Structure 1
Amino acid sequence: MPRFGSEKQQASSVLEIANCCRLPKKAFSSSAGSGSSSANRPRILITGAMADAEALSVCQTFQILVQRNMQVQAAVVRSLEEMENALPFASYVVVLFSRGMLRDPNFALILLSANSLSGSASERKPELVTVSADAGFEFPGPEFYRELELQGLGLSDGTGSGPLGAEAGPELAQAYRSLLSVLALPLTPLGSIGLLEKQVSEICRRFRRYHDSATGLAMDQAADHTGHTGHGGSQSIAPPRSAKPSQGCAKQQEQQEDSGKEDAATRATKVRRVTATL
Protein backbone atom coordinates (compact mmCIF):
# COMPACT_ATOMS: atom_id res chain seq x y z
CA MET A 1 0.00 0.00 0.00
CA PRO A 2 1.58 3.33 -1.06
CA ARG A 3 0.86 5.33 2.11
CA PHE A 4 1.93 8.61 0.52
CA GLY A 5 0.53 7.75 -2.90
CA SER A 6 -2.48 9.37 -4.50
CA GLU A 7 -5.99 8.19 -3.70
CA LYS A 8 -6.15 6.54 -7.10
CA GLN A 9 -3.03 4.51 -6.35
CA GLN A 10 -4.34 3.51 -2.93
CA ALA A 11 -7.71 2.52 -4.38
CA SER A 12 -5.95 0.38 -6.97
CA SER A 13 -4.04 -1.41 -4.20
CA VAL A 14 -7.25 -2.07 -2.29
CA LEU A 15 -8.92 -3.44 -5.41
CA GLU A 16 -5.93 -5.68 -6.04
CA ILE A 17 -6.22 -7.10 -2.52
CA ALA A 18 -9.96 -7.57 -3.03
CA ASN A 19 -9.27 -9.49 -6.23
CA CYS A 20 -6.75 -11.74 -4.50
CA CYS A 21 -9.24 -12.46 -1.71
CA ARG A 22 -12.12 -12.81 -4.20
CA LEU A 23 -14.16 -10.22 -2.34
CA PRO A 24 -17.11 -8.38 -3.92
CA LYS A 25 -15.86 -5.13 -5.46
CA LYS A 26 -19.17 -3.31 -5.74
CA ALA A 27 -18.46 -1.34 -2.57
CA PHE A 28 -15.19 -0.06 -4.04
CA SER A 29 -16.31 0.67 -7.59
CA SER A 30 -18.15 3.90 -6.76
CA SER A 31 -15.28 5.35 -4.75
CA ALA A 32 -12.35 4.17 -6.82
CA GLY A 33 -12.61 6.96 -9.32
CA SER A 34 -13.65 9.65 -6.87
CA GLY A 35 -11.87 11.53 -4.15
CA SER A 36 -9.91 14.67 -3.60
CA SER A 37 -7.45 14.04 -6.41
CA SER A 38 -10.21 14.06 -9.03
CA ALA A 39 -12.43 16.68 -7.42
CA ASN A 40 -12.56 19.81 -9.51
CA ARG A 41 -14.14 22.11 -6.97
CA PRO A 42 -14.17 20.66 -3.45
CA ARG A 43 -15.95 22.92 -0.97
CA ILE A 44 -14.27 21.62 2.20
CA LEU A 45 -10.46 21.42 2.22
CA ILE A 46 -8.73 19.24 4.81
CA THR A 47 -5.05 19.51 5.66
CA GLY A 48 -2.50 18.94 8.39
CA ALA A 49 0.96 17.43 8.75
CA MET A 50 0.96 15.70 5.39
CA ALA A 51 4.57 14.52 5.82
CA ASP A 52 3.39 12.17 8.58
CA ALA A 53 1.75 8.98 7.34
CA GLU A 54 -0.51 8.67 10.38
CA ALA A 55 -1.73 12.25 10.10
CA LEU A 56 -2.39 11.77 6.39
CA SER A 57 -4.40 8.63 7.11
CA VAL A 58 -6.50 10.47 9.71
CA CYS A 59 -7.20 13.27 7.22
CA GLN A 60 -8.34 10.77 4.61
CA THR A 61 -10.62 9.01 7.08
CA PHE A 62 -12.04 12.35 8.19
CA GLN A 63 -12.68 13.30 4.56
CA ILE A 64 -14.73 10.16 3.94
CA LEU A 65 -16.82 10.67 7.08
CA VAL A 66 -17.45 14.35 6.33
CA GLN A 67 -18.58 13.62 2.78
CA ARG A 68 -20.90 10.91 4.02
CA ASN A 69 -22.36 13.19 6.69
CA MET A 70 -22.70 16.42 4.70
CA GLN A 71 -23.12 15.15 1.12
CA VAL A 72 -20.66 17.88 0.12
CA GLN A 73 -17.42 17.33 -1.75
CA ALA A 74 -14.29 17.45 0.42
CA ALA A 75 -10.62 17.06 -0.44
CA VAL A 76 -7.38 16.36 1.39
CA VAL A 77 -4.86 19.04 0.44
CA ARG A 78 -1.29 17.76 0.49
CA SER A 79 0.73 20.53 -1.12
CA LEU A 80 0.89 24.25 -1.77
CA GLU A 81 -0.07 23.73 -5.41
CA GLU A 82 -3.20 21.78 -4.48
CA MET A 83 -4.22 24.49 -2.01
CA GLU A 84 -3.76 27.28 -4.55
CA ASN A 85 -5.84 25.39 -7.12
CA ALA A 86 -8.70 24.45 -4.79
CA LEU A 87 -8.90 27.45 -2.46
CA PRO A 88 -10.79 29.85 -4.79
CA PHE A 89 -13.78 27.47 -4.80
CA ALA A 90 -13.70 26.37 -1.14
CA SER A 91 -15.90 27.56 1.70
CA TYR A 92 -14.03 25.90 4.58
CA VAL A 93 -10.44 24.94 5.38
CA VAL A 94 -10.16 22.27 8.08
CA VAL A 95 -6.84 21.79 9.89
CA LEU A 96 -6.29 18.59 11.87
CA PHE A 97 -3.81 19.16 14.69
CA SER A 98 -1.09 16.54 15.19
CA ARG A 99 2.32 16.45 16.81
CA GLY A 100 5.08 18.12 14.81
CA MET A 101 2.63 19.95 12.56
CA LEU A 102 3.86 23.44 13.43
CA ARG A 103 7.40 22.48 12.41
CA ASP A 104 6.32 21.01 9.08
CA PRO A 105 7.48 23.31 6.22
CA ASN A 106 4.87 21.90 3.84
CA PHE A 107 2.05 22.71 6.25
CA ALA A 108 3.46 26.21 6.83
CA LEU A 109 3.34 26.94 3.10
CA ILE A 110 -0.21 25.60 2.85
CA LEU A 111 -1.34 27.75 5.78
CA LEU A 112 0.26 30.90 4.38
CA SER A 113 -1.49 30.26 1.08
CA ALA A 114 -4.85 29.89 2.83
CA ASN A 115 -4.28 33.09 4.81
CA SER A 116 -3.36 35.02 1.68
CA LEU A 117 -6.90 34.61 0.32
CA SER A 118 -8.64 34.92 3.69
CA GLY A 119 -6.98 38.28 4.24
CA SER A 120 -7.53 39.60 0.73
CA ALA A 121 -10.35 41.74 -0.61
CA SER A 122 -11.96 38.73 -2.28
CA GLU A 123 -15.68 38.31 -1.66
CA ARG A 124 -15.17 34.60 -1.08
CA LYS A 125 -13.18 33.99 2.10
CA PRO A 126 -13.02 30.40 3.36
CA GLU A 127 -13.70 29.90 7.05
CA LEU A 128 -11.11 28.14 9.20
CA VAL A 129 -12.15 25.09 11.24
CA THR A 130 -9.71 23.29 13.55
CA VAL A 131 -9.81 19.72 14.85
CA SER A 132 -7.70 18.22 17.64
CA ALA A 133 -6.89 14.79 16.20
CA ASP A 134 -3.80 13.93 18.26
CA ALA A 135 -3.44 13.96 22.04
CA GLY A 136 0.29 14.48 21.54
CA PHE A 137 -0.18 17.90 19.95
CA GLU A 138 1.17 20.65 22.21
CA PHE A 139 0.12 24.26 21.95
CA PRO A 140 3.22 26.46 21.68
CA GLY A 141 4.31 29.01 24.24
CA PRO A 142 5.61 32.57 23.85
CA GLU A 143 9.16 31.34 23.22
CA PHE A 144 8.05 29.50 20.10
CA TYR A 145 6.46 32.62 18.63
CA ARG A 146 9.50 34.78 19.44
CA GLU A 147 11.78 32.27 17.75
CA LEU A 148 9.43 32.06 14.80
CA GLU A 149 9.30 35.84 14.36
CA LEU A 150 13.10 36.10 14.41
CA GLN A 151 14.13 33.03 12.43
CA GLY A 152 11.03 31.64 10.76
CA LEU A 153 11.33 27.88 10.44
CA GLY A 154 15.03 28.28 9.69
CA LEU A 155 14.62 27.31 6.03
CA SER A 156 16.31 30.07 4.05
CA ASP A 157 19.10 30.64 1.58
CA GLY A 158 21.47 32.04 4.21
CA THR A 159 20.23 35.61 3.88
CA GLY A 160 16.91 35.03 5.62
CA SER A 161 14.95 35.66 2.43
CA GLY A 162 13.75 32.10 1.85
CA PRO A 163 10.03 31.24 1.73
CA LEU A 164 10.13 30.17 5.40
CA GLY A 165 13.18 32.08 6.60
CA ALA A 166 13.48 35.08 8.89
CA GLU A 167 11.77 37.35 6.38
CA ALA A 168 8.58 35.27 6.52
CA GLY A 169 8.79 34.80 10.30
CA PRO A 170 6.36 37.56 11.41
CA GLU A 171 3.74 36.54 8.85
CA LEU A 172 4.03 32.88 9.79
CA ALA A 173 3.81 33.66 13.51
CA GLN A 174 0.63 35.67 12.93
CA ALA A 175 -0.82 32.84 10.83
CA TYR A 176 -0.14 30.34 13.63
CA ARG A 177 -1.68 32.64 16.23
CA SER A 178 -4.84 32.99 14.15
CA LEU A 179 -4.97 29.24 13.59
CA LEU A 180 -4.59 28.32 17.25
CA SER A 181 -7.09 30.94 18.40
CA VAL A 182 -9.92 28.91 16.85
CA LEU A 183 -11.50 26.43 19.25
CA ALA A 184 -10.56 22.91 18.12
CA LEU A 185 -13.13 20.15 18.42
CA PRO A 186 -11.94 16.65 19.39
CA LEU A 187 -11.49 13.70 17.05
CA THR A 188 -10.36 10.27 18.26
CA PRO A 189 -8.82 8.42 15.29
CA LEU A 190 -8.38 5.19 17.28
CA GLY A 191 -11.94 5.24 18.61
CA SER A 192 -14.83 3.11 17.46
CA ILE A 193 -16.73 3.93 14.29
CA GLY A 194 -19.68 5.01 16.41
CA LEU A 195 -17.54 7.48 18.35
CA LEU A 196 -15.94 8.80 15.16
CA GLU A 197 -19.29 9.35 13.49
CA LYS A 198 -20.59 11.20 16.54
CA GLN A 199 -17.51 13.43 16.71
CA VAL A 200 -17.62 14.14 12.98
CA SER A 201 -21.30 15.01 13.28
CA GLU A 202 -20.42 17.60 15.93
CA ILE A 203 -17.62 19.01 13.78
CA CYS A 204 -19.94 19.24 10.77
CA ARG A 205 -22.09 21.70 12.69
CA ARG A 206 -19.31 24.20 12.04
CA PHE A 207 -20.14 23.99 8.34
CA ARG A 208 -23.17 26.23 8.72
CA ARG A 209 -23.31 26.99 5.01
CA TYR A 210 -24.23 23.37 4.31
CA HIS A 211 -26.85 22.74 6.96
CA ASP A 212 -29.10 22.63 3.91
CA SER A 213 -26.69 21.11 1.42
CA ALA A 214 -28.84 21.91 -1.63
CA THR A 215 -29.03 25.60 -0.73
CA GLY A 216 -25.34 25.77 0.13
CA LEU A 217 -24.26 24.13 -3.11
CA ALA A 218 -26.55 26.43 -5.09
CA MET A 219 -24.86 29.41 -3.43
CA ASP A 220 -21.47 27.93 -4.33
CA GLN A 221 -22.42 27.55 -7.98
CA ALA A 222 -23.66 31.13 -8.08
CA ALA A 223 -20.41 32.32 -6.50
CA ASP A 224 -18.40 30.28 -9.01
CA HIS A 225 -20.29 31.87 -11.88
CA THR A 226 -19.81 35.36 -10.47
CA GLY A 227 -16.12 34.75 -9.98
CA HIS A 228 -15.64 33.64 -13.58
CA THR A 229 -17.75 36.33 -15.27
CA GLY A 230 -16.81 39.36 -13.25
CA HIS A 231 -20.03 40.79 -11.83
CA GLY A 232 -22.16 38.19 -13.55
CA GLY A 233 -24.09 40.77 -15.56
CA SER A 234 -24.54 40.80 -19.31
CA GLN A 235 -23.73 43.86 -21.35
CA SER A 236 -26.15 45.00 -24.05
CA ILE A 237 -24.59 45.67 -27.42
CA ALA A 238 -25.85 48.76 -29.24
CA PRO A 239 -26.31 48.51 -33.02
CA PRO A 240 -23.68 50.27 -35.12
CA ARG A 241 -24.49 53.82 -36.18
CA SER A 242 -24.09 52.98 -39.84
CA ALA A 243 -26.78 50.31 -39.69
CA LYS A 244 -29.84 51.04 -41.81
CA PRO A 245 -33.19 51.15 -40.02
CA SER A 246 -35.62 48.37 -40.70
CA GLN A 247 -38.79 48.87 -42.77
CA GLY A 248 -40.98 49.01 -39.67
CA CYS A 249 -38.74 51.62 -38.08
CA ALA A 250 -38.80 53.69 -41.28
CA LYS A 251 -42.62 53.72 -41.35
CA GLN A 252 -42.76 54.67 -37.70
CA GLN A 253 -40.33 57.51 -38.32
CA GLU A 254 -42.44 58.77 -41.26
CA GLN A 255 -45.58 58.69 -39.11
CA GLN A 256 -43.82 60.69 -36.41
CA GLU A 257 -42.69 63.26 -38.98
CA ASP A 258 -46.24 63.56 -40.42
CA SER A 259 -47.74 64.00 -36.96
CA GLY A 260 -45.12 66.63 -36.26
CA LYS A 261 -46.10 68.52 -39.42
CA GLU A 262 -49.79 68.34 -38.47
CA ASP A 263 -49.07 69.68 -35.00
CA ALA A 264 -47.12 72.59 -36.48
CA ALA A 265 -49.96 73.45 -38.89
CA THR A 266 -52.52 73.31 -36.08
CA ARG A 267 -50.45 75.62 -33.91
CA ALA A 268 -50.08 78.09 -36.81
CA THR A 269 -53.87 78.16 -37.39
CA LYS A 270 -54.52 78.85 -33.71
CA VAL A 271 -52.01 81.69 -33.73
CA ARG A 272 -53.72 83.29 -36.76
CA ARG A 273 -57.14 83.06 -35.08
CA VAL A 274 -55.86 84.68 -31.90
CA THR A 275 -54.20 87.45 -33.90
CA ALA A 276 -57.43 88.13 -35.85
CA THR A 277 -59.47 88.52 -32.67
CA LEU A 278 -57.00 91.04 -31.35
Structure 2
Amino acid sequence: MLDRNYKEKMIESVLFSVSTLTVVILLLICLFLFRDGLLLFEDVPFSNFAAGRFWYPTSVNAQFGILPLFFGSLIVTAGAILFSVPLGIASAIYISEMANPRVADYLKPFVEILAGVPSVVYGFFGLVVLVPFVQQTFNLATGQTALTGSVMLGIMALPTIITISEDAISSVPASLKQGSLALGATRWQTIYKVTVPAALSGISAAVMLGMGRAIGETMTVMMVTGNTAVIPSFPGGLFDPVRTMTATIALEMGEVPQGSDHFHALFAVGSVLFILTFLINLVADSIKKKYRFKVD
Protein backbone atom coordinates (compact mmCIF):
# COMPACT_ATOMS: atom_id res chain seq x y z
CA MET A 1 0.00 0.00 0.00
CA LEU A 2 2.81 2.37 0.93
CA ASP A 3 4.66 1.45 -2.23
CA ARG A 4 1.56 2.26 -4.30
CA ASN A 5 1.11 5.65 -2.61
CA TYR A 6 4.79 6.41 -3.17
CA LYS A 7 4.48 5.64 -6.89
CA GLU A 8 1.41 7.84 -7.19
CA LYS A 9 3.20 10.73 -5.48
CA MET A 10 6.19 10.26 -7.76
CA ILE A 11 3.95 10.36 -10.82
CA GLU A 12 2.22 13.49 -9.53
CA SER A 13 5.59 15.12 -8.86
CA VAL A 14 6.83 14.32 -12.37
CA LEU A 15 3.67 15.68 -13.98
CA PHE A 16 3.83 18.81 -11.84
CA SER A 17 7.50 19.32 -12.76
CA VAL A 18 6.77 18.96 -16.48
CA SER A 19 3.87 21.42 -16.26
CA THR A 20 6.00 23.90 -14.33
CA LEU A 21 8.82 23.56 -16.85
CA THR A 22 6.37 24.30 -19.68
CA VAL A 23 5.23 27.50 -17.98
CA VAL A 24 8.83 28.56 -17.29
CA ILE A 25 9.84 27.97 -20.92
CA LEU A 26 6.86 30.04 -22.10
CA LEU A 27 7.81 32.88 -19.75
CA LEU A 28 11.42 32.79 -20.97
CA ILE A 29 10.24 32.95 -24.58
CA CYS A 30 8.10 35.98 -23.72
CA LEU A 31 11.02 37.64 -21.95
CA PHE A 32 13.39 36.99 -24.84
CA LEU A 33 10.89 38.19 -27.44
CA PHE A 34 9.59 41.32 -25.75
CA ARG A 35 12.98 42.38 -24.40
CA ASP A 36 14.50 42.79 -27.87
CA GLY A 37 11.26 44.08 -29.37
CA LEU A 38 10.89 46.89 -26.84
CA LEU A 39 14.43 48.12 -27.55
CA LEU A 40 13.17 49.37 -30.92
CA PHE A 41 11.17 52.12 -29.24
CA GLU A 42 14.27 53.71 -27.77
CA ASP A 43 15.01 55.10 -31.26
CA VAL A 44 11.68 54.74 -33.10
CA PRO A 45 8.43 56.18 -31.71
CA PHE A 46 5.80 53.54 -30.98
CA SER A 47 3.26 55.44 -33.09
CA ASN A 48 5.54 55.20 -36.14
CA PHE A 49 5.70 51.44 -35.71
CA ALA A 50 2.04 50.79 -34.86
CA ALA A 51 0.52 53.22 -37.38
CA GLY A 52 3.26 53.40 -39.99
CA ARG A 53 2.16 52.75 -43.56
CA PHE A 54 5.58 51.86 -44.95
CA TRP A 55 8.10 49.10 -44.26
CA TYR A 56 11.46 50.33 -45.58
CA PRO A 57 13.95 48.92 -43.06
CA THR A 58 17.07 49.33 -45.23
CA SER A 59 16.51 52.80 -46.73
CA VAL A 60 18.46 55.88 -45.65
CA ASN A 61 15.48 57.10 -43.65
CA ALA A 62 14.40 53.69 -42.38
CA GLN A 63 10.68 53.22 -41.73
CA PHE A 64 9.31 50.36 -39.67
CA GLY A 65 5.55 50.66 -40.10
CA ILE A 66 3.83 47.38 -39.34
CA LEU A 67 0.51 48.14 -41.03
CA PRO A 68 1.44 46.68 -44.46
CA LEU A 69 2.57 43.47 -42.79
CA PHE A 70 -0.38 43.33 -40.39
CA PHE A 71 -2.99 43.84 -43.10
CA GLY A 72 -1.16 41.43 -45.39
CA SER A 73 -1.43 38.74 -42.71
CA LEU A 74 -5.04 39.73 -41.98
CA ILE A 75 -6.30 39.51 -45.55
CA VAL A 76 -4.53 36.21 -46.22
CA THR A 77 -5.80 34.68 -42.96
CA ALA A 78 -9.35 35.96 -43.50
CA GLY A 79 -9.41 34.51 -46.99
CA ALA A 80 -8.08 31.18 -45.70
CA ILE A 81 -10.76 30.98 -43.00
CA LEU A 82 -13.56 31.86 -45.44
CA PHE A 83 -12.32 29.09 -47.70
CA SER A 84 -11.58 26.38 -45.13
CA VAL A 85 -14.28 26.72 -42.47
CA PRO A 86 -17.40 25.90 -44.57
CA LEU A 87 -15.58 23.15 -46.43
CA GLY A 88 -14.00 21.73 -43.29
CA ILE A 89 -17.20 21.64 -41.24
CA ALA A 90 -19.16 20.18 -44.14
CA SER A 91 -16.52 17.47 -44.58
CA ALA A 92 -16.60 16.69 -40.85
CA ILE A 93 -20.39 16.36 -40.92
CA TYR A 94 -20.21 14.06 -43.93
CA ILE A 95 -17.53 11.81 -42.41
CA SER A 96 -19.25 11.60 -39.03
CA GLU A 97 -22.93 11.52 -39.91
CA MET A 98 -23.47 10.58 -43.55
CA ALA A 99 -20.60 8.57 -44.99
CA ASN A 100 -20.62 4.79 -45.14
CA PRO A 101 -18.43 3.47 -42.29
CA ARG A 102 -16.00 1.96 -44.80
CA VAL A 103 -15.74 5.24 -46.69
CA ALA A 104 -15.22 7.13 -43.44
CA ASP A 105 -12.46 4.72 -42.42
CA TYR A 106 -10.62 5.59 -45.64
CA LEU A 107 -11.24 9.33 -45.49
CA LYS A 108 -10.10 9.93 -41.91
CA PRO A 109 -6.54 8.60 -42.36
CA PHE A 110 -6.25 10.50 -45.64
CA VAL A 111 -7.19 13.78 -43.92
CA GLU A 112 -4.71 13.08 -41.13
CA ILE A 113 -1.95 12.43 -43.67
CA LEU A 114 -2.61 15.87 -45.17
CA ALA A 115 -1.87 17.40 -41.76
CA GLY A 116 1.61 15.85 -41.84
CA VAL A 117 2.67 17.18 -45.24
CA PRO A 118 5.53 19.72 -44.81
CA SER A 119 4.60 23.32 -45.48
CA VAL A 120 7.36 23.68 -48.06
CA VAL A 121 5.67 20.94 -50.12
CA TYR A 122 2.40 22.89 -50.03
CA GLY A 123 4.33 26.01 -51.01
CA PHE A 124 6.00 24.25 -53.91
CA PHE A 125 2.65 22.91 -55.12
CA GLY A 126 1.14 26.39 -54.91
CA LEU A 127 4.08 27.94 -56.77
CA VAL A 128 4.04 25.40 -59.59
CA VAL A 129 0.30 24.73 -59.95
CA LEU A 130 -1.86 27.38 -58.28
CA VAL A 131 0.17 30.51 -59.10
CA PRO A 132 -0.02 29.98 -62.92
CA PHE A 133 -3.69 29.01 -62.61
CA VAL A 134 -4.61 32.20 -60.73
CA GLN A 135 -2.57 34.33 -63.13
CA GLN A 136 -4.26 32.89 -66.21
CA THR A 137 -7.76 32.70 -64.75
CA PHE A 138 -7.90 36.33 -63.56
CA ASN A 139 -5.55 37.73 -66.24
CA LEU A 140 -3.10 39.13 -63.69
CA ALA A 141 0.48 40.28 -64.05
CA THR A 142 1.49 37.69 -61.46
CA GLY A 143 -0.26 34.83 -59.74
CA GLN A 144 1.63 35.40 -56.48
CA THR A 145 -1.20 37.17 -54.71
CA ALA A 146 -3.08 37.24 -51.43
CA LEU A 147 -5.75 35.03 -53.01
CA THR A 148 -3.18 32.34 -53.80
CA GLY A 149 -1.88 32.48 -50.24
CA SER A 150 -5.42 32.30 -48.86
CA VAL A 151 -6.25 29.18 -50.86
CA MET A 152 -3.04 27.44 -49.86
CA LEU A 153 -3.44 28.31 -46.18
CA GLY A 154 -7.08 27.21 -46.35
CA ILE A 155 -5.97 23.82 -47.68
CA MET A 156 -3.37 23.57 -44.90
CA ALA A 157 -5.94 24.45 -42.23
CA LEU A 158 -8.49 21.90 -43.50
CA PRO A 159 -7.02 18.81 -41.76
CA THR A 160 -7.07 20.55 -38.37
CA ILE A 161 -10.64 21.80 -38.80
CA ILE A 162 -11.96 18.51 -40.19
CA THR A 163 -10.29 16.26 -37.61
CA ILE A 164 -11.27 18.23 -34.50
CA SER A 165 -14.77 19.00 -35.78
CA GLU A 166 -15.35 15.35 -36.66
CA ASP A 167 -14.26 14.26 -33.19
CA ALA A 168 -16.61 16.83 -31.63
CA ILE A 169 -19.57 15.73 -33.77
CA SER A 170 -18.89 12.05 -33.12
CA SER A 171 -18.84 12.75 -29.36
CA VAL A 172 -22.42 14.01 -29.33
CA PRO A 173 -24.51 11.46 -27.34
CA ALA A 174 -26.57 9.18 -29.52
CA SER A 175 -29.55 9.74 -27.23
CA LEU A 176 -29.81 13.37 -28.43
CA LYS A 177 -29.97 12.28 -32.06
CA GLN A 178 -32.39 9.44 -31.37
CA GLY A 179 -34.64 11.74 -29.35
CA SER A 180 -34.75 14.24 -32.21
CA LEU A 181 -35.59 11.55 -34.75
CA ALA A 182 -38.23 10.09 -32.42
CA LEU A 183 -39.94 13.50 -32.26
CA GLY A 184 -40.31 13.49 -36.03
CA ALA A 185 -37.31 15.53 -37.14
CA THR A 186 -35.65 14.57 -40.39
CA ARG A 187 -32.02 13.53 -40.58
CA TRP A 188 -30.97 16.95 -41.86
CA GLN A 189 -32.96 18.75 -39.19
CA THR A 190 -31.31 16.59 -36.55
CA ILE A 191 -27.85 17.42 -37.91
CA TYR A 192 -28.17 21.22 -38.05
CA LYS A 193 -30.55 21.73 -35.11
CA VAL A 194 -29.27 19.15 -32.64
CA THR A 195 -25.92 17.59 -33.55
CA VAL A 196 -24.04 20.69 -34.73
CA PRO A 197 -25.21 22.94 -31.85
CA ALA A 198 -24.26 20.22 -29.36
CA ALA A 199 -20.79 19.98 -30.92
CA LEU A 200 -20.34 23.73 -31.31
CA SER A 201 -17.74 23.91 -28.56
CA GLY A 202 -15.39 21.54 -30.39
CA ILE A 203 -16.17 23.03 -33.78
CA SER A 204 -15.34 26.54 -32.58
CA ALA A 205 -12.06 25.24 -31.14
CA ALA A 206 -11.29 23.67 -34.51
CA VAL A 207 -11.93 26.95 -36.31
CA MET A 208 -9.72 28.92 -33.93
CA LEU A 209 -6.91 26.37 -34.19
CA GLY A 210 -7.20 26.52 -37.96
CA MET A 211 -6.96 30.29 -37.78
CA GLY A 212 -3.87 29.97 -35.60
CA ARG A 213 -2.32 27.63 -38.15
CA ALA A 214 -3.04 30.11 -40.93
CA ILE A 215 -1.75 33.24 -39.21
CA GLY A 216 1.43 31.52 -38.05
CA GLU A 217 2.38 29.85 -41.33
CA THR A 218 5.63 31.06 -42.91
CA MET A 219 7.10 29.02 -45.74
CA THR A 220 3.98 28.62 -47.87
CA VAL A 221 2.96 32.30 -47.82
CA MET A 222 6.56 33.32 -48.45
CA MET A 223 6.53 31.28 -51.66
CA VAL A 224 3.15 32.24 -53.13
CA THR A 225 2.13 35.75 -51.97
CA GLY A 226 4.69 37.89 -53.79
CA ASN A 227 6.19 39.50 -50.65
CA THR A 228 5.32 43.10 -51.48
CA ALA A 229 5.04 45.24 -48.35
CA VAL A 230 2.04 47.40 -49.28
CA ILE A 231 -1.28 47.90 -47.54
CA PRO A 232 -3.82 45.81 -49.51
CA SER A 233 -7.30 47.04 -50.29
CA PHE A 234 -10.35 44.81 -49.85
CA PRO A 235 -11.56 42.94 -51.82
CA GLY A 236 -9.32 44.14 -54.65
CA GLY A 237 -6.23 43.48 -52.57
CA LEU A 238 -6.89 39.75 -52.85
CA PHE A 239 -5.45 39.95 -56.36
CA ASP A 240 -2.34 41.92 -55.37
CA PRO A 241 0.97 40.69 -53.94
CA VAL A 242 1.23 41.11 -50.17
CA ARG A 243 3.73 40.36 -47.42
CA THR A 244 2.82 38.77 -44.12
CA MET A 245 4.48 39.27 -40.74
CA THR A 246 5.81 35.72 -40.63
CA ALA A 247 7.32 35.96 -44.12
CA THR A 248 9.00 39.26 -43.23
CA ILE A 249 10.74 37.72 -40.22
CA ALA A 250 11.85 34.69 -42.24
CA LEU A 251 13.14 36.73 -45.18
CA GLU A 252 15.00 39.43 -43.27
CA MET A 253 16.24 37.91 -40.01
CA GLY A 254 19.12 36.03 -41.64
CA GLU A 255 20.76 39.17 -43.06
CA VAL A 256 19.94 41.86 -40.51
CA PRO A 257 22.80 43.27 -38.38
CA GLN A 258 22.37 42.11 -34.81
CA GLY A 259 21.47 44.90 -32.40
CA SER A 260 20.30 47.29 -35.14
CA ASP A 261 16.90 48.97 -35.25
CA HIS A 262 15.95 46.60 -38.05
CA PHE A 263 16.86 43.65 -35.81
CA HIS A 264 14.73 44.95 -32.97
CA ALA A 265 11.88 45.78 -35.38
CA LEU A 266 11.69 42.13 -36.43
CA PHE A 267 11.44 41.13 -32.78
CA ALA A 268 8.67 43.70 -32.36
CA VAL A 269 6.82 42.11 -35.29
CA GLY A 270 7.27 38.73 -33.62
CA SER A 271 5.85 40.18 -30.41
CA VAL A 272 2.74 41.32 -32.29
CA LEU A 273 2.35 37.81 -33.71
CA PHE A 274 2.68 36.35 -30.22
CA ILE A 275 0.02 38.70 -28.86
CA LEU A 276 -2.35 37.91 -31.74
CA THR A 277 -1.94 34.16 -31.19
CA PHE A 278 -2.50 34.62 -27.47
CA LEU A 279 -5.71 36.58 -28.11
CA ILE A 280 -6.95 33.94 -30.54
CA ASN A 281 -6.44 31.27 -27.87
CA LEU A 282 -8.31 33.39 -25.31
CA VAL A 283 -11.23 33.85 -27.71
CA ALA A 284 -11.28 30.12 -28.48
CA ASP A 285 -11.32 29.26 -24.78
CA SER A 286 -14.10 31.77 -24.14
CA ILE A 287 -16.23 30.36 -26.98
CA LYS A 288 -15.68 26.79 -25.79
CA LYS A 289 -16.81 27.66 -22.27
CA LYS A 290 -19.81 29.63 -23.51
CA TYR A 291 -21.24 26.91 -25.74
CA ARG A 292 -20.27 24.09 -23.39
CA PHE A 293 -22.30 25.82 -20.67
CA LYS A 294 -25.27 26.19 -22.99
CA VAL A 295 -25.19 22.56 -24.05
CA ASP A 296 -24.77 21.29 -20.48
Provide the TM-score with structure 1 as the length reference: 0.25
By percentage of residues, which structure has more strand? 1
Greater relative contact order (Cα 8 A, min sep 6): structure 1 or 2?
Answer: 2
User: Which has more radius of gyration?
Assistant: 1
By percentage of residues, which structure has more helix? 2
Provide the TM-score with structure 2 as the length reference: 0.24
